[in-house]
Chain A
Amino acid sequence: METLLQQLINGITLGSIYALVALGYTMVYGIIGLINFAHGELVMVGALTAVSVIQALMVAGLGLPPAAIMMAGLLVAIPLCMLLAYAMERVAYRPLRGAPRLAALITAIGVSIVLQNVAMMVWGRSYFSFPDVVSVTTYGIGGAVITDLQVLIVLLAAALMAGLLLIVHRTRLGLAMRATAENSAVASLMGVDANRVIVAAFLLGAALAAVAGLMVSAYYGIAHYYMGFMLGLKAFTAAVLGGIGNLGGAMLGGLLLGLIESLGAGYIGDFTGDVLGSNYQDVFAFFVLIIVLTIRPSGLLGERVSERA
């Protein structure tokens, strides 16, 4: 029972981070149908930037309160990630808007490789441990342990997702985004500037990715130039699991993937009589994905995809 509760707590924390990243994939996909392979690298850039800023401020010893230091990290990381997202859209994706979809996929892979290696030149190959800005306090609930960091991550993620939903469903920009996702040709006829909408989707996704980067490096206590790739793939998997192009689907998919992974890691040994250990947790996640997609080919909340050449 304690394990179950513990794995649920860990799973929800991890899942809310996945959900934030998955939203970036799903917004871009929903509007221009591109798998933005480089999105995971934005998480990495966000994480490394935030860690560097926090470290610098702590070394400077200005006596700032921990919350202010964390905030400063975010305030540098978010605009930087947004700038990168804007640049990649303008340089690598916009010229290929009418081209076959695989062409843009390959440039996205190219952008991902470039960002990774620029990050390696800037930050080097070493692992950065997350500075001890705040000492993490742990609380016991029913035999399981929860940290204030976990609570903070989940609450912040929930607030950001609520904010995103507000933007998408209550503002003119959101209306334009939904219209473009539905049918971009008709939306342009109604006076929607498609380029503005697409840039907005990239910028919103990048901001969420930067926050997710700070969260994941604080949670695992580590940041690394290579961390974005696998995290990006996982988040993309989450977006597909929920039904790509669907905001609610990305949130649900992210949470589910987090839960599946941590429950899988906790229980896979029991299921298989200890033949398979927790090192198979990724197998478990992908296996669930394959089963879900076999039963529901467009993901959990996705609509039936139309034929596309």
Chain B
Amino acid sequence: MLPALNRKPLVWAGVALVALALAAVPLVLAATVGQAWVRVVNLALLYVMLALGLNIVVGFAGLLDLGYIAFYAVGAYLYALLASPHFGLHLPFWITLPLGFLVAAFFGVLLGAPTLKLRGDYLAIVTLGFGEIIRIFLNNLNAPVNITNGPQGINLVDPLKLGGFSFSTRETILGVDFSGPQKYYYALLALTLAIIVLNVRLQDSRIGRAWEAIREDEIAARSMGINTRNIKLLAFAMGASFGGLAGGLFASIQGFISPESFSVLESIMVLSMVVLGGMGNIAGVILGAVLLTGLPEVIRFTVVPAQQALFGKVIVDPEAIRMLLFGLALILVMLFRPAGIWPATLRKREFAR
């Protein structure tokens, strides 16, 4: 073991190394496998935010939420409505993104309030219903007054812009050529890191411990003086707010959103990331999100060439194989690591019994 005094510079060196590696990711990817992969990494960062938000509700507080994508939808639509030609509004992101954060939190409380009494799977089905209600409204609110533009969705959503600096256009900074997705990567990375720090701090806080107490035994938690109602609502609100933020970013990056992006299947996908990675463990959840975003893409890029190499032509629908392998991966990982790939230490202890 190194003496304590000498350890500090080493820690900083490590941090610097990780920062350098993270900063190099989009440049290396673009140089080796192409710009498409920078987009995949951006998507993965969005899913990391979503998974961390859902982890607060499911992993920390133990409330099974099957309609989480609704908050993503709220954030995305709020951003798109306030910054697109649809209403002719073009508010800057420092208004729209925080607003999405707050409104999503409000929706979180709106969902949480009537469901406080419900337990386990009853809660699951109500949250699922809530998610569907939001999606159906988004799909149908084009008549009698056109608010969401219905199934066609909203087009030409403004990209992130800071003064004259737009995140969507290609430009050369300090002699290095940066594409739109590459610039977005840094914005997403900064926000993701902020959310990670916030989550780590939350987990070890009084609130984090209260969530854990409710998850383990609600009645015992209440008799220890925890205000279970407020603490549960707080979990819903905080989880939802990260979803809302990610939604706003999604709208700005894609430039187009429609209700199709917010189906039950998406909620289930984010839940799979949380559980497969290791519910309640922040590092595990991040790993789960990155793996489950990356895996289908890797399969997508390999299935067609593999079939062509083997049979000389594409025999089986690549989309079907992609999802089939994805489903098999879910089953196999859970069979061999039922607590997730990287479980929280507490869960690991439970398993050792």
Contacts and interface: CB of A to CB of B under 8 A. Distances in A.
A275 B140 CA distance: 11
A102 B275 contact: yes
- Chain B interface secondary structure, helix, strand, loop or mixed? helix
A236 B132 CA distance: 14
A117 B327 CA distance: 9
Nearest to A102: B275
B17 interface: no
Interface in A175-219: none
Contacts of A29: 121
Interface in A252-266: none
Contacts of B320: 117, 120-121
Contact of A35 (B117, B121, B144, B323): B121
B36 interface: no
Interface in A275-301: 275-277, 279-280, 282-283, 286-287, 289-290, 293-294, 297-299
Contact of A102 (B139, B279, B323): B279
B15 interface: no
Interface stretch (A45-53, A92-100, A126-134, A153-161): A92-100
A290 B331 contact: no
A42 interface: no
A55 interface: no
Nearest to B118: A297
Q: Is the contact region of chain A dominated by helix, strand, or loop, or is it mixed?
A: helix
A292 to B, nearest CB: 10
Of residues A125, A237, A290, which shows the largest number of chain B Cβ atoms within 10 Å of its Cβ? A290
Given A106-B275, A113-B324, A99 B122 contact: no
B114 interface: yes
B218 A289 contact: no
B327 A111 contact: yes
A257 to B, nearest CB: 11
Contacts of A99: 334, 338-339
Given A100-B347, A282-B132, A293-B126, A112 B327 contact: yes
Contact of A240 (B125, B316, B330, B335): B125
A287 B264 CA distance: 17
A107 interface: yes
B125 A236 contact: yes
B132 A109 contact: no
Interface in B67-103: none
A244 interface: yes
Nearest to A112: B327
Nearest to B327: A113
B136 A297 contact: no
Contacts of B323: 113, 116-117
A130 to B, nearest CB: 24
Given A120-B317, A280-B140, A290-B130, A114 B339 contact: no
A290 B111 CA distance: 10
Given A113-B330, A233-B128, A294 B317 contact: no
A117 B126 contact: no
Given A279-B136, A290-B130, A110 B328 contact: yes
Contact of A117 (B129, B324, B330): B324
B276 interface: yes
Interface in A228-263: 229, 233, 236-237, 240, 244
Contact of B316 (A100, A104, A121): A121
B129 A289 contact: yes
B140 A290 contact: no
Contacts of A110: 327-331, 334
Given A110-B328, A110-B331, A283-B136, A103 B339 contact: yes
A309 B218 CA distance: 9
B216 interface: yes
Given A92-B335, A240-B121, A106 B347 contact: no
Given A275-B144, A280-B136, A293 B264 contact: no
Contact of A289 (B64, B125, B139, B331): B125
A309 B216 CA distance: 6
Given A117-B324, A121-B316, A107 B120 contact: no
Contacts of B279: 100, 102
A244 B272 contact: no
Contacts of A170: none
B268 interface: yes
Contact of A307 (B115, B219, B326): B219
Contacts of A172: none
B122 A293 contact: yes
A294 B123 CA distance: 10
B306 interface: no
B119 interface: yes
Contact of B121 (A96, A244, A289, A309): A244
The 10 A-B pairs with the shortest beta carbon distances in the complex, nearest first, are: A113-B327, A110-B330, A286-B129, A99-B338, A114-B327, A110-B331, A103-B338, A117-B324, A240-B125, A110-B327
Given A277-B143, A293-B118, 6 more contacts: A29-B121, A106-B272, A106-B275, A114-B324, A117-B323, A305-B122
27 contacts: A29-B121, A35-B121, A91-B331, A100-B279, A102-B64, A102-B279, A103-B338, A104-B334, A105-B275, A109-B327, A111-B327, A111-B331, A113-B327, A116-B323, A117-B324, A121-B316, A276-B140, A277-B143, A282-B132, A289-B125, A293-B122, A294-B117, A305-B120, A307-B217, A308-B119, A308-B120, A309-B216
